[in-house]
Amino acid sequence: MDSLIIISTGSLVAICGSILGCFLILRKMAMVSDAISHAVLPGIVIAFMLGSDLDSVWMLVGAGLVGVLTTFLIEFFHQKGKLQTDAAIGVTFTWLFAIGVILVTYYAGDAHIDQDCVLYGEIAYTPINPIILKNGTVLGPKALIVLGAVLLIIVLIVSLFYKEFFLTTFDPSFALATGLSASLWHYVLMSLVSVTTVASFESVGAILVVAFLIVPPASAYLLTTRLSHMILLSCCFGVLSAIFGYYLAYAIDGSIAGAMATVAGVIFGVVFAIAKYLEKRRAISNLEQMTLETSK
């Protein structure tokens, strides 16, 4: 039962990450998600300090705001300060993260939070942290419920506004011409990324969320050119990483989240090799075709 809960939690993170990650990769924003996942730290700490018991909904809202703030700062330094994007990202998130670490150290005694948990989480604790209603009904593991809700929100927003996301991703100038605001959808996407990060930071940690946001979509990107196929494939890779990662961690007694990221990396390696092989074979058959035609 526990293993089922852990694998489901991992899969939920993977599916949330895959859907958003595909857009991030296509918009060349992969590193902005890395920045957001680190920058939400001060937001999380402040939320911990304000409420003695962590109120999930407010945490998610707060995280969304911090994510938007991070995105805004990056854009601001880039556009007003003419600072190159990579440096704008680097300066912004390290600064916010440093403030977060200082807050964690300062309030270490008061809040139930430490650096290890933020950086690489512990998904193994998911089953022993259930939500229990006032009348005593056990709803189920908290991480699972929160992530489920987040997935629902993501699926709802992305499917309702698929056209908007699609257009602003592939053809920003056309989108602008039809009256869509590219920056609005940029910020919506980034808030969803922040919410996902916070929802999963307790289970997989801030840095491994990035593995789920980037690695499965990148693998899928190698195999297809259609966005809908890419999202589906990416979800499959993500879920596979969660399943095999769990058993890898179980076998060698290590961090489950770390193992899931490792498996995601292995899957990418295999897909990369297959894609290269296919490409080579296509090139050879093209060549053969050409020589056949010329010899006729």
Distance CA 216, CA 20 (A): 11
Site pattern 98..137 for other proteins (x: CB under 8 A): xx-xx--xx--------xx--xx-----------------
- Minimum distance of other proteins from residue 169's CB (angstroms): 13
- Minimum distance of other proteins from residue 171's CB (angstroms): 17
Residue 84 or residue 178: which is nearer to other proteins going by CB?
A: 84
Q: Are 212 and 21 in contact (CB under 8 A)?
A: yes
Site pattern 235..264 for other proteins (x: CB under 8 A): -------------xx--xxxx-xxxxxx-x
Considering the rule CB under 8 A, would residue 200 count as an interface residue with other proteins? no
Name the segment binding other proteins (CB under 8 A); options: 7-15, 141-149, 217-225, 280-288.
217-225
Residue 79 or residue 285: which is nearer to other proteins going by CB?
A: 79
DSSP secondary structure of 30-58: HHHHHHHHHHHHHHHHHHHHH-SS--HHH
Look up residue 127 and give its DSSP letter. Answer: G
Distance CA 108, CA 116 (A): 12
DSSP secondary structure of 260-293: HHHHHHHHHHHHHHHHHHHHHHHHHHHHHHHHHH
Considering the rule CB under 8 A, would residue 65 count as an interface residue with other proteins? no
Look up residue 131 and give its DSSP letter. Answer: E
Considering the rule CB under 8 A, would residue 277 count as an interface residue with other proteins? no
User: In the numeric block, which tokens belong to residue 233?
Assistant: 């494939």
> What SS3 state is found at 295?
helix
Distance CA 162, CA 93 (A): 29
Residue 31 or residue 153: which is nearer to other proteins going by CB?
A: 31
DSSP secondary structure of 181-232: -HHHHHHHHHHHHHHHHHHHHHHH-HHHHHHHHHHHHHHHHHH-S-HHHHHH
Considering the rule CB under 8 A, would residue 87 count as an interface residue with other proteins? yes
User: Site for other proteins (CB under 8 A): which residue of 53, 80, 295, 296?
Assistant: 80
Kindly list the residues in this chain that would bind other proteins in the complex (CB under 8 A). 25, 28-31, 33-34, 38, 77, 80-84, 86-87, 89-91, 94-95, 97-99, 101-102, 105-106, 115-116, 119-120, 205, 207-208, 210-211, 213-215, 218, 221-222, 248-249, 252-255, 257-262, 264-265, 268, 272, 275-276
